[in-house]
Amino acid sequence: MVTLAILLAAGLTRGQIEAQVARGAWHRLGRHTVAVRGQSLAGRARWWHALWESGRHAALDGATALLAAGLKGWNERDIDVTVPNNARVRPIPGVRHHRIREQAPTVGALQRTRPEVAAIRAAQWAESDAEAATILAMAVQQRLVSPRALLERWRQVGYSGRRAFLDVVVEDICNGAESLGELDFARMCRARGLAEPSRQVLRTGPKGRAYLDVFWDDEGVHVEIHGAHHYAGLTPVEDALRANDLAISGGDEIHLQVPVLGLRLPLRRSALLDQVERALVEGRRRAAQRSSTQ
């Protein structure tokens, strides 16, 4: 696959090119792209095609730019391409054009925005808050962008339709222990009508991973809230929900795990606090049972 301009620069005439197209040897894939070996597009060829057909100032952006930078485990629905606000761009199937006032610096021969810019834009363009949190966490966990660079970029953003949500999530992902220390888990419990924890301790593990230990001593319930920066998206939230169900039904003390990102999403926060409530009820039942047998 090449551009029409490359073929012309190589010495071919438009007539020669069109003759190859007419006999089916080559295929036109838009105004600027010519397929010289078949006409199906896959992998990086789709990205090149999207750029060539979007104009010389176009750049891969958002989730697509992160994938081009090496992001693993993310399914791309459409190719995200940014173009200048005044650019004249024709619609391309499978490509989402985003018009921006100022083009961010780009990197690579396959022109793309820098990872910290792409990650923030991917979060803003995501279809849901859960998707936004996931791609940010994955970008940091896979070391495509440093927490510091991501936080600095976010602080430069003016308007965002997800401002309130991303303010919290970016801090969670980038600030680790500091963010956990500011988490008002007791307030969340009060809002649900649950007993306040008897104690709450911020700890740092041997690998620098922060977590918050929350205890209800009378009920024998312990909740470990994990920081967000080392998680590959929301998979650990679903894993924790399953593990917690097992923990509530067995053992003397009940140990629950709560990824902090799960507390930032209403549906998952509700499910996690449901489990805390069930654990406290079960803890009281066991405590009463022990008292009656003494």
Domain boundaries defined on the chain? 1-37, 41-175, 178-292
**Contact indicator for 174, 137 with CB cutoff of 8 Å:** no
Q: How far is CA 207 from CA 24, 146, 230, 240, in A?
A: 59, 17, 11, 20
Q: Which residue has the higher pLDDT, 266 or 243?
A: 266
What string of H, E and C letters represents the secondary structure of 159-205?
CCCCHHHHHHHHHHHHHCHHHHHCCCHHHHHHHCCCCCCCEEEEEEC
Tell me if the pTM is above 0.85: no
Q: What is the largest CA-CA distance in the chain?
A: 98
DSSP 8-class letter at 35: E
Q: Model confidence at 67, in pLDDT bands (50, 70, 90)?
A: very high
DSSP 8-class letter at 292: H
Q: Model confidence at 229, in pLDDT bands (50, 70, 90)?
A: low
What pLDDT, on a 0 to 100 scale, did the predictor assign at position 125?
A: 97
Strands (E), the chain: 2-3, 27-28, 33-35, 59-60, 79-84, 95-100, 106-107, 112-113, 199-204, 210-216, 221-226, 254-259
Read off the pLDDT of each residue in 236-259 and give the average, rounded to a whole number. 82
Q: Which residues pair with 214 in a beta bridge?
A: 200, 223
Q: Model confidence at 1, in pLDDT bands (50, 70, 90)?
A: confident
Please give the mean pLDDT across all residues of the chain: 89
**Contact indicator for 234, 130 with CB cutoff of 8 Å:** yes
Read off the pLDDT of each residue in 1-20 and give the average, rounded to a whole number. 92
Q: Model confidence at 232, in pLDDT bands (50, 70, 90)?
A: low
Angle at CA of residue 266, ends 263 and 270, nearest 5°: 75
pLDDT reading at 170 higher than 90 = yes
CA 70 to chain centre: 14
